A and B are shown apart, each in its own frame.
Chain A
Amino acid sequence: MALVEIRNLSILRSGREVIHDFSATIKPGNITAIIGPNGSGKSSLLAALVGDISISSGSITFDGRDITTFSLLEQAEIRSVVMQERSYWLSYSVREVIAMGQGAQAVARIAEILATLDMVDFAEQSVTTLSGGEAQRVEIARALIRDSDIYILDEPLSAQDAASKARIITILQKLRDQGKTIIVTAHIDKSALTWCDQIIETFAQ
């Protein structure tokens, strides 16, 4: 269980304020979607949540503790991340990429996650040959085999077909029902986000 609180957050990128005085509370046991038009700071907000960029003012806390006080390892223990950028240039298999750098507990769950995300058929295939949707599922698998309190996913459905979308939503709902905090960004209309419990909007500055 982890409560995520964003208080009076401002983020500067290349001299431009992309997030200004933004506050939100993201509750555990919820799926929260962050939505907003291009340039509204959605990605910056997400990058700040996962600790990739520094904030100009305000704070982000996980269960009351400021995220800047977490070590890399502590951050990795409390939250799992799926970002959009991926660059596979070496022909590792899907199974190998999912296992890379993971602890024994996570590695033990690979077979299960491959089946859940319908990836068994291409588990031994090289990641360099995957379609956009398949590669995205590899990244989702890398995050979901980790047992975390918070899951942060940047547009996890953007490259998926209808069946995969439904499958991923079901998995996220199951995690929510276990009391996990799920944060996703989305580029779509609110009406398509009925599977989310809370929607946070960012606006262009």
Chain B
Amino acid sequence: MKRFILVITVLPIVAVLALAVGASDVAHVWSHIFSPFHDVNNTAHQIIWSIRAPRVFAAILVGASLGIAGVLAQGSTNNPIADPAILGTSAGASLGVLIGVLFNVVTIGSIGAVVFAAVGALLATLFSFSLARSALQLITIGIGVSAILSAIVGLTLAMISRPDARSVSFWSFGSLALVTPLILWVLLPIFLIAAVLAWKMAPALDLLSLGDASVRHIGHDAQRIRRKAFAILAVLVAVSVSSVGTIAFLALAVPHIARFINGPRNRTLVPFSAAIGALVLLGADTAARSIVPPHELPIGLLTSLIGAPILIATLKRGGDVWR
């Protein structure tokens, strides 16, 4: 509990620091941050509360979504290197959103986009899973499915010439720059419901770690647990992908960091991973927009830089303990 309080306390501190940092130098930055309803027409106030604040909240929301998504991906497949990008979930969500946008059914950041993303994510995940016969196969097939779907998204984007093509393309590489307060209000309740459902099913994920046969022998249906986890995973990935695009490696790395801090129990892993995911993405986004101002670094590359070494370390250490 102490560790969780510590992580939760660090989050608002980093959030306030993130509000203070940015491409433009803002005068009296702290007084504007701590008086959110005072002097609202001031340019400095607007930079902080209309431009930076939505990004900060988006980083927290998407980071938390991906953190829990990682827990569900690894728990449901009983595989420490599973994550939405590797299973094809994120690419499926991207393709879902793209189809919706191309047929003018949805716009990025709408509830419709979340629905298209969730359906795409779920179908892609189920497809990868149905083809795989082992944990290692799941990863290799997932990478293949992911590559095919990403290629379709990339080629489609390269071929279309619409006014909004550029923003769609920008979104497909992962960026928090396009998030608006309205999108956040749409996504927040969806995230909260999915997070509670993930927390409620956490003990079933603990059980899956013993292997499907052990689950079946005591009367539970491993595939049913898994399908439920995939559905929640798809919604969480949809929340993230439909608003900010694909953020690589975060969902893979965060559960490992959370397990290192607080052990493998999924009941605590869900809130821990949400908090750590929020913290990591907030840190990465703040770095992305303040290291070389006014240029913005691609956030997906920064999260890869943090996440990929954890993937390598996990693979090196994993040996033959997987099922």
What residues of chain B lie closer than 8 Å to A81, measured between beta carbons?
217
Q: A90-B209, A100-B207 are in contact. Are A83 and B263 (CB under 8 A)?
A: no
Give the nearest-CB partner of A143 in chain B.
B217
Q: A87-B321, A100-B207, A100-B210 are in contact. Are A92 and B265 (CB under 8 A)?
A: yes
- A8 CB-CB contact with B under 8 Å: no
Please encode chain B, from 216 to 250, with 1 for each CB lying within 8 Å of some chain A CB and 0 for all others. Answer: 11111100000000000000000000000000000
- Closest CB of chain A to B304's CB: distance in Å? 24
- B200 CB-CB contact with A under 8 Å: no
Q: Are B207 and A96 in contact (CB under 8 A)?
A: no
- B296 CB-CB contact with A under 8 Å: no
- B213 CB-CB contact with A under 8 Å: yes
Q: Are A101 and B265 in contact (CB under 8 A)?
A: no
Give the nearest-CB partner of B74 in chain A.
A90
User: Which listed residue, A74, A91, A92, A102, touches B218 by the CB 8 Å rule?
Assistant: A102
Range, interface on chain B: 20 to 34
User: Which listed residue, A50, A90, A92, A128, touches B217 by the CB 8 Å rule?
Assistant: A50
Q: Bound complex: CA of A148 vs CA of B265, how far in Å?
A: 28
What residues of chain A lie closer than 8 Å to B221, measured between beta carbons?
72
What residues of chain A lie closer than 8 Å to B204, measured between beta carbons?
101
Q: A50-B217, A101-B218 are in contact. Are A86 and B207 (CB under 8 A)?
A: no
What residues of chain B lie closer than 8 Å to A96, measured between beta carbons?
206, 265
Interface size of A by CB at 8 A reads: 28
- Closest CB of chain B to A152's CB: distance in Å? 9
Please encode chain A, from 44 to 80, with 1 for each CB lying within 8 Å of some chain B CB and 0 for all others. Answer: 0000001110000000000000000000111111001
Please encode chain A, from 74 to 116, with 1 for each CB lying within 8 Å of some chain B CB and 0 for all others. Answer: 1111001101011111111000110011100000000000000
Q: Are B218 and A89 in contact (CB under 8 A)?
A: no
User: Which listed residue, B206, B220, B321, touches A92 by the CB 8 Å rule?
Assistant: B206
- Cβ < 8 Å to B, chain A residues 106-164: 128, 142, 146
Q: A87-B211, A101-B215 are in contact. Are A72 and B206 (CB under 8 A)?
A: no
Give the nearest-CB partner of B211 in chain A.
A87
- Cβ < 8 Å to A, chain B residues 294-323: 318, 321-323
User: Which listed residue, A72, A89, A142, touches B216 by the CB 8 Å rule?
Assistant: A72
- Closest CB of chain B to A52's CB: distance in Å? 6
Q: Are A75 and B219 in contact (CB under 8 A)?
A: yes
- Cβ < 8 Å to A, chain B residues 80-131: 80
- Closest CB of chain A to B194's CB: distance in Å? 23
- Closest CB of chain A to B147's CB: distance in Å? 27
User: Which listed residue, B203, B213, B264, B318, touches A91 by the CB 8 Å rule?
Assistant: B264
- Cβ < 8 Å to A, chain B residues 189-218: 203-204, 206-207, 209-211, 213-218
Q: Are B219 and A86 in contact (CB under 8 A)?
A: no
- Closest CB of chain A to B165's CB: distance in Å? 44
Q: Bound complex: CA of A86 vs CA of B214, how far in Å?
A: 9
What residues of chain B lie closer than 8 Å to A73, measured between beta carbons?
219
What residues of chain A lie closer than 8 Å to B318, measured between beta carbons?
89
Please encode chain B, from 45 to 88, with 1 for each CB lying within 8 Å of some chain A CB and 0 for all others. Answer: 00000000000000000000000000000000000100000000
Q: Are A76 and B219 in contact (CB under 8 A)?
A: yes
User: Which listed residue, B207, B211, B218, touches A85 by the CB 8 Å rule?
Assistant: B211
Q: Bound complex: CA of A89 vs CA of B203, how far in Å?
A: 16
Q: Are B211 and A146 in contact (CB under 8 A)?
A: no
- Cβ < 8 Å to B, chain A residues 16-59: 50-52
User: Which listed residue, A74, A83, A97, touches B213 by the CB 8 Å rule?
Assistant: A83
- Closest CB of chain A to B229's CB: distance in Å? 15
Q: Bound complex: CA of A50 vs CA of B323, how far in Å?
A: 20
Q: Are A101 and B209 in contact (CB under 8 A)?
A: no
What residues of chain A lie closer than 8 Å to B217, measured between beta carbons?
50, 76, 80-81, 83
Q: A87-B322, A87-B323 are in contact. Are A92 and B219 (CB under 8 A)?
A: no
Give the nearest-CB partner of A138 in chain B.
B210
- Closest CB of chain A to B201's CB: distance in Å? 13
- Closest CB of chain B to A48's CB: distance in Å? 13
- Closest CB of chain B to A95's CB: distance in Å? 12
Q: Bound complex: CA of A74 vs CA of B219, how far in Å?
A: 7
- Closest CB of chain B to A194's CB: distance in Å? 29
A-B residue pairs in contact (CB < 8 Å), sample of 26: A52-B216, A72-B221, A74-B219, A75-B219, A76-B219, A80-B217, A83-B213, A83-B214, A83-B217, A85-B211, A86-B210, A87-B211, A87-B321, A87-B322, A89-B80, A89-B209, A90-B209, A96-B206, A100-B203, A100-B206, A100-B210, A101-B204, A101-B220, A128-B321, A142-B214, A146-B218
Interface of A toward B, CB cutoff 8 Å: 50-52, 72-77, 80-81, 83, 85-92, 96-97, 100-102, 128, 142, 146
The 4 closest A-B pairs by CB, nearest first: A76-B219, A90-B264, A101-B207, A73-B219
Instruction: List 5 other contacts, CB 8 Å, given A83-B214, A92-B265, A101-B215.
Output: A51-B216, A89-B209, A89-B322, A92-B263, A101-B218
